[in-house]
Structure 1
């Protein structure tokens, strides 16, 4: 069985925005370019990439060829890479250049070694309601203030990827509750299949319909109930 790819939200990509920890997304892929930054440290050709650290740069690419956009120079009638932000690492110069190393192997945008996962096509909000605890908490996660009920512990988990299974969402939730595996996950009284996604479990994404009806999405965030299994051996 092939290993499932890991999905990331745009917020997760955006958190990697320094020269020592630099991620970008493009054409649905998420790439960690930190090794590239280290290899070419101090090179002026890194500047366009640094300016877009943590962002989606799909506009740089032709979706059909998966290569950098090209155009025909009206002066030379030659095909050139289209780089309005300036030429960057692995893009050849416009003309002959004595210091251009043509033996670079795969350019970084085609090198799968930089790929760490895929960008979620649609992120979702979910609320995790622990039916066991009654502690009031105020949590701040990824710049989102998560408010908890004074009767039950309710966490509004940072946006999750619609492509993720419940088991993968559970991995996210472990940062809040290290014993999350000791609970049964339910929605509207039904036990959820942790091997399936939210949609496959019947928890549909109604964002489009809510927007059409001009209803507040926050009121209709789906809630998953955690029922304690009386087993705290799972950590």
Structure 2
């Protein structure tokens, strides 16, 4: 099976328009753009659109993976809890003949929109090209392997696969994560400070003399 792609919260947050809308919930990332296109003009899309690029895990019961419910104080019936307002595929509070319930799976249970996993924790690293002395600071997912981090870095160096990756002079196992390669996390005391770059762990790239065509 293909390994799922991990995303940082920042990567999700940039997809925040009606023509490009992502959301994360319960540890997964979803591209809801097709959902909005299929239901264009429906007023019930408003609560979803208002949360574009955000995590909406608080909408859900982590045990049932369904929308939170509550007991309606007037009717005593169990209903979905939607404090931001009723949204698409949530039934109306009272029986209605004009509500179409033949949509199949509700959108939050439809894995067609799933694009990957949300990182539980991100890390900052510095990648230093020893051939050119160029340095790039990257926010990566702690769950990513070095090979996956390399894919992130390709936009800065298209020949990154032609380098040996090292930390403190030790060759890194590209199939393992940063922590599995014993690369320490950045000092939290300096996170967000002007000195933060200095305390992010560094990975040095050494050219192998055999450029890989990508």
TM-score bracket, shorter-length normalisation: over 0.9
Looking at structure 2, the residues matched to 50 and 102 of structure 1 have their Cα atoms a distance apart, in angstroms, of: 21
Looking at structure 1, the residues matched to 136 and 208 of structure 2 have their Cα atoms a distance apart, in angstroms, of: 19
2:202 alignment counterpart = 223
What are the residue-to-residue correspondences of 1:135-150 with 2, within 5 Å?
none
Equivalent residues of 2:124, 2:186 under 8 A apart: no
State the Cα distance separating 1:19 from its structure 2 match: 1.0
The 3-state SS of whatever aligns with 1:200 is coil
The 3-state SS of whatever aligns with 2:117 is strand
Select 1:182's aligned residue among 162, 168, 171.
Answer: 162
Structure 2 length-normalised TM = 0.95
Equivalent residues of 1:179, 1:232 under 8 A apart: yes
1:142 alignment counterpart = none
The reply on whether 1:7 has 2:16 as its aligned counterpart is no
Looking at structure 2, the residues matched to 207 and 53 of structure 1 have their Cα atoms a distance apart, in angstroms, of: 32
Looking at structure 2, the residues matched to 31 and 207 of structure 1 have their Cα atoms a distance apart, in angstroms, of: 32
1:147 alignment counterpart = none
1:144 alignment counterpart = none
Looking at structure 1, the residues matched to 156 and 40 of structure 2 have their Cα atoms a distance apart, in angstroms, of: 37
1:63 alignment counterpart = 62
Alpha-carbon distance change, 131 to 182 in structure 1, aligned in 2, over 3 angstroms: same
CA deviation digits over 1:122-158, x for unaligned, max 9? 000010000001xxxxxxxxxxxxxxxxxx211112x
The 3-state SS of whatever aligns with 1:99 is coil
The reply on whether 1:234 has 2:213 as its aligned counterpart is yes
Looking at structure 2, the residues matched to 206 and 126 of structure 1 have their Cα atoms a distance apart, in angstroms, of: 8
What are the residue-to-residue correspondences of 1:64-143 with 2, within 5 Å?
64-133=63-132
The reply on whether 1:153 has 2:134 as its aligned counterpart is yes
Looking at structure 2, the residues matched to 70 and 233 of structure 1 have their Cα atoms a distance apart, in angstroms, of: 54
What's the C-alpha RMSD, in Å, of the aligned pairs? Answer: 1.8
Structure 1 length-normalised TM = 0.86
State the Cα distance separating 1:233 from its structure 2 match: 3.3
Listed as ranges, the gaps of 5+ residues in structure 2 are none
The 3-state SS of whatever aligns with 1:201 is coil
State the Cα distance separating 1:217 from its structure 2 match: 4.4
Looking at structure 1, the residues matched to 179 and 209 of structure 2 have their Cα atoms a distance apart, in angstroms, of: 28
Corresponding pairs, count: 213
CA deviation digits over 1:130-187, x for unaligned, max 9? 0001xxxxxxxxxxxxxxxxxx211112x10000000000000001111111100000
